[in-house]
Copies of this chain bind each other. A is one copy, B any other.
Amino acid sequence: MKPTVHDIAKIAGVSLATVDRVLNGRPGVRSVTRGRVEQAITSLGYVRDLAAANLAKSRTYSFVFILPANDNSFMIGLHEEVRGAVARSSSERTDIRIVDVPPFDAGALVVALETVLAEKPAGVAFVAIDAPEIRAAAERLRQAGIPMVTLVSDLPDSSRDHYAGIDNIAAGRTAGSLMGRFLSGPFLAERGATVAVLAGSMLVRDHRERLEGFSTVIDQAYPNVHILPVLEGRDDPALTETMIADALRRNADIAGIYSLGAGNRGLIRALHKVRVARRPLVIAHELTASTRAALADGVIDAVLNQDAGHEVRSAIRVLKAKADGLPVLAAQERIRIDIFLKDNLP
């Protein structure tokens, strides 16, 4: 039988009230007595029954998710997953609130974090922007003892407790490796190949990191692949379409395209206008309705994906654990880079 507080009281020769005071760090216990109780706790190997404790406290975990009001499919999907978690709230003892902020706006994110700080929730998840003022705001939240998880985009060297997202450098490396291997042959041969990179904005950390990983692998392992200057499409379909169309017109020898940002609809539209035989090899990020269709059609060759549902559920698990002072299962919380070819689409 699992030991209970009653067993501790009996062994330590104190009352339930004293055990409770020790367990919950309440004042009014002499240090000798506290020692006896702690001794009993360790000797019995007592672990508090979280379910019973939460029941007694009639506790609900109040979490806040701060999400950019982006209109690309990935962010919309992320929103949906959070709403799904809200729907499951009652059976998971959580009370999740969504706060929308304008995208790529550090000032707005700071304001949101400050507002959240004021209401002292049990935890906060947010899509970080890599800026010093965000780090400062995060530090204030940490001082207030509010667990924090960054979602999708990280804030390294900050006070966040955890990052629920993929390793973007590794994602870029993977894309580079696939690009190099897929190109070796039909295009590359001895004469080399040209590759275009399409990003949303180089101001965003994830995009910079993906590019970094991609370039590293290409430079080291595929020296005769030449990377063109990065195209920044601001994740905007219309802009992206014209940029890609232009690029393909100017550089007739583009053999591959790595789209490391969101908003691939424009890219796909531009690709559909290219003669099949002359289509470049394309690697993109995020499995959405449009990239999935393009993958099935053969317009896109590979898609690297992060599962928004997993990220949201992981963030919630981690926030709960942090709120309870419990350890997290690192292996369970590692968000993986999914590689989809048209043959392993779920």
**Chain A interface (Cβ < 8 Å from any Cβ of B):** 2, 47, 49-52, 54-55, 90-91, 93, 167, 170-171, 173-174, 176-178, 181-182, 184-186, 188-189, 213, 217, 301, 309-310, 313, 331-332, 334, 336-339, 341-344, 346
Cβ contact within 8 Å between A309 and B332: yes
Q: For residue A176, which residues in chain B have a CB less than 8 angstroms away from its CB?
A: 343
| A173 in contact with B343 (CB, 8 Å) | yes
Q: Within the complex, which residue of B2, B182, B189 is in contact with A90, where a contact is CB–CB below 8 Å?
A: B2
Q: Is the CB of B186 within 8 A of A91?
A: no
Nearest chain B residue, comparing its CB with the CB of A189: B185
**B341 and A177 within 8 A (CB):** yes
List, in ascending order, chain B residues with CB within 8 A of A91's CB: 47, 50
| A342 contact set on B, CB distance < 8 A | 177
What are 28 A-B pairs at a CB distance below 8 A? A2-B90, A47-B91, A49-B55, A51-B54, A51-B55, A167-B344, A170-B343, A170-B344, A171-B344, A173-B344, A174-B343, A174-B344, A176-B343, A177-B341, A178-B341, A181-B181, A181-B301, A182-B182, A184-B185, A185-B185, A185-B188, A185-B189, A213-B343, A217-B343, A309-B331, A309-B332, A337-B344, A338-B338
A91 to B332, CA, bound (A): 16
Residues in B with CB closer than 8 Å to A182 are 181-182
Count of this chain's copies in the oligomeric assembly: 2
* A50: B residues at CB distance < 8 A: 91
8 closest Cβ pairs, A-B complex: A185-B185, A173-B343, A339-B339, A51-B51, A174-B344, A177-B343, A184-B185, A170-B344
| Interchain CA distance A342-B177 in the complex, whole Å | 9
Residue of B nearest to A331 (CB): B309
Which residue of B is nearest A313, CB measured?
A: B332
Minimum distance in angstroms from A56 CB to a CB of chain B: 10
Chain B residues whose CB sits within 8 angstroms of the CB of A184 once the complex forms: 185-186
Bound CA span A2–B2, Å: 30
User: Which residues of chain B come closer than 8 Å to A2, judged between CB atoms?
Assistant: 90
9 additional A-B pairs beyond A177-B342, A217-B343, beta carbons within 8 Å, are A2-B90, A47-B91, A51-B93, A174-B341, A181-B182, A182-B182, A313-B332, A337-B344, A338-B338
Give every chain B residue within 8 A of A185 (Cβ-Cβ): 184-186, 188-189
A343 to chain B, nearest CB (A): 4
Q: How far does the Cβ of A282 sit from chain B's closest Cβ, in whole Å? A: 13
Q: Is the CB of B336 within 8 A of A338?
A: yes
Closest partner residue, chain B, to A188 (CB atom): B185
Q: For the complex, what is the distance from the CA of A217 to the CA of B54, rounded to whole Å?
A: 53
Provide the bound-state CA to CA distance between A184 and B217, in Å: 20
- A334 neighbours in B (Cβ, 8 Å): 346
Residue in A176, A182, A188, A301 whose Cβ sees the most chain B Cβ within 10 Å? A182
Q: Report Cα–Cα, A50/B52, bound state, in Å.
A: 11
Give A121 to B167 CA distance when docked, in angstroms: 41
Q: Report how far A301 CA is from B272 CA in the complex, Å.
A: 32
Q: How distant is the Cα of A259 from the Cα of B93 in the complex, in angstroms?
A: 46
